[in-house]
Structure 1
Amino acid sequence: MSYKIQYNKQFENFKNILLNIKSIFSQNSQTIHLARNELKIIEIENISTVVKAFRVPNVLNQFVYAYLRKSKAYKAFHNATILHDLHVSTPEPIGYIEFFKFALLKESFFISKEFKYDFTIAHIRDEQPEYKKNVLEDFAEFTYYIHTKGVWHVDYSGGNILVKKDGDKYLFSLVDINRMKFRTISNYEGLENFNKLWFNEEDLTTIAKAYSKLASLDENRAIDEILMQDKKLKDKVLLKRKLRGVRN
């Protein structure tokens, strides 16, 4: 079985760790997420790391990722490196490795340092805590900041934004970053990036007001835009669910 490997030069001692990551991962039981992919917190070389094991692709995608497209592990590592260069918070990347059999991609892993956080932005949406306004305003500021850096997180959803309280402020860090775009984000376009968060109208209005102030946008137009983009996606998702129900 062949492999491709790349690691952060600050973590050269992780080369052998990456080469043996399959056995290290299988022997650890501290799973923090299990769906299509699995994430585990693993203490390695006195560093608390998060190891992400990507699901083995179907046969077609094994070929695609081997020859036509960069793998999710590759994108996670390289996008994290770009974000760090842009001073946008994401767990510090350590490295990734891809394993191939018969020249097709099989297992792949991405390792980063663990980011200690208090909750995800989904907590604000679901629990509606009394401090939510402060979090949402700081979140709007963070989002505006990353947009000025040309960062568009395609999967900007509740579970992919980690939140850490720091004094009177809230800090944010991006995860699940294998799908990112780096480009110019103009004016009201940035408000579309909030549409996968599934906030209620009140919370979206709070975000739009804070974002519009920072971006020097018309407040009422910003509110209309964020609500329109939210409704547009929700209608699309609900329609798909109805169609699935009809087919089933």
Structure 2
Amino acid sequence: MKKKILINPKYEHLRSFITSLPDTFSQNGKVIYQSRNELRVFEKAGLSLNVKQFGIPLFFNRIIYNGFRPPKALRAYEYALKLQHSGINTPEAIGCICMSRRGLLDRCYFISLQVPYTRRFYEFGTAPLEGKEEIIRAFARYTARMHEAGVYHKDYSPGNILFDIREGKPEFCVVDINRMKFGPVGIKMGCANFARLWGQQPFFRILATEYAAARHFDAEVCIKWVLHYRQKFWKAYSQRHPPEFQLDL
């Protein structure tokens, strides 16, 4: 079994914990998510650490990831450092482990600081917007800053956007960042980024209007494209799965 281990120099004192994870992960920590991938929180050296164990890919992907494409854990680590350098809030990267056996990718781990945010964008699915308009506008401006910085989250869905109100102002944090695109983000591409979010049309109209203002786009054009890409995504999605919120297309 081969291991590739990267550790943020700031957290070199956690090396023994990180290198032991393949042997100790399943016996320790608190499970906070368990499916194909598994998330556990560990308390070490006065820090709360979030460790994501990635499921072993399908056979063909094990070959691809081992020689032609960076594994998800490595991308998550490198992208976190890149986002932090750009001033985009995401859990601080601590390290990653990529394991391979006989030339095929095996278990991988991404280690980051556990963040304290308690709210996710699922709550906008059917909840009244009254009193939440400023959160929506602040989120639109946050997304505009990401796009202006050339950062595009390819899985910009409700579970990957964390937030809380801090000192009277909304504060956002993006997670699950192993699928990112870096480069110029135009009006259509930017508007399409909101398609997976939950919410009714009034939510998206507020979002699109503020996003347009932040990026100096035409508001009506942004509203048109945001609603267009939203409808396109959810029509296709609802043919395969029943939406978990009241969908008004």
TM-score (norm: length of structure 2):
0.92
Corresponding residue number in structure 1 for 2:97: 97
Contact 1:124 1:132 in 2 (8 A): no
| Superposed displacement of residue 126, structure 1 | 4.5
Corresponding residue number in structure 2 for 1:211: 211
Superposition pairs of residues 1-248 of structure 1, within 5 angstroms = 1-128=1-128, 130-241=130-241
SS at match of 1:194: coil
For residues 88 and 107 of structure 1, the distance between their equivalents in structure 2, rounded to whole angstroms, comes to: 28
For residues 33 and 135 of structure 2, the distance between their equivalents in structure 1, rounded to whole angstroms, comes to: 24
Higher helix share: 1
| Superposed displacement of residue 188, structure 1 | 4.2
Structure 2, unpaired ranges of 5+: 243-249
Structure 1's 7 and 198: CA in aligned 2 closer, same or farther, altered over 3 A? same
Structure 1, unpaired ranges of 5+: 243-248
| Superposed displacement of residue 182, structure 1 | 0.4
SS at match of 1:6: strand
For residues 101 and 188 of structure 2, the distance between their equivalents in structure 1, rounded to whole angstroms, comes to: 47
Contact 1:198 1:230 in 2 (8 A): no
For residues 20 and 59 of structure 1, the distance between their equivalents in structure 2, rounded to whole angstroms, comes to: 26
For residues 57 and 189 of structure 2, the distance between their equivalents in structure 1, rounded to whole angstroms, comes to: 33
Q: Deviations over 1:188-239 (max 9, x none)?
A: 4311100011321010001011111111222222111111110011122233
| Superposed displacement of residue 123, structure 1 | 1.9
SS at match of 2:124: helix
For residues 240 and 123 of structure 2, the distance between their equivalents in structure 1, rounded to whole angstroms, comes to: 26
- Which segment is superposed worse, 22-31 or 152-161? 22-31
SS at match of 2:125: helix
Contact 2:195 2:230 in 1 (8 A): yes
| Superposed displacement of residue 183, structure 1 | 0.6
| Superposed displacement of residue 29, structure 1 | 4.8
Q: Deviations over 1:121-179 (max 9, x none)?
A: 12233444643212111110100010110010000000000102112210111100000
- Which segment is superposed worse, 129-138 or 181-190? 129-138
Aligned residues: 242
TM-score (norm: length of structure 1):
0.92
For residues 51 and 204 of structure 1, the distance between their equivalents in structure 2, rounded to whole angstroms, comes to: 34
Contact 2:187 2:222 in 1 (8 A): no
- Partner amino acid, structure 2, of 1:114: Q
SS at match of 1:223: helix
For residues 121 and 103 of structure 2, the distance between their equivalents in structure 1, rounded to whole angstroms, comes to: 40
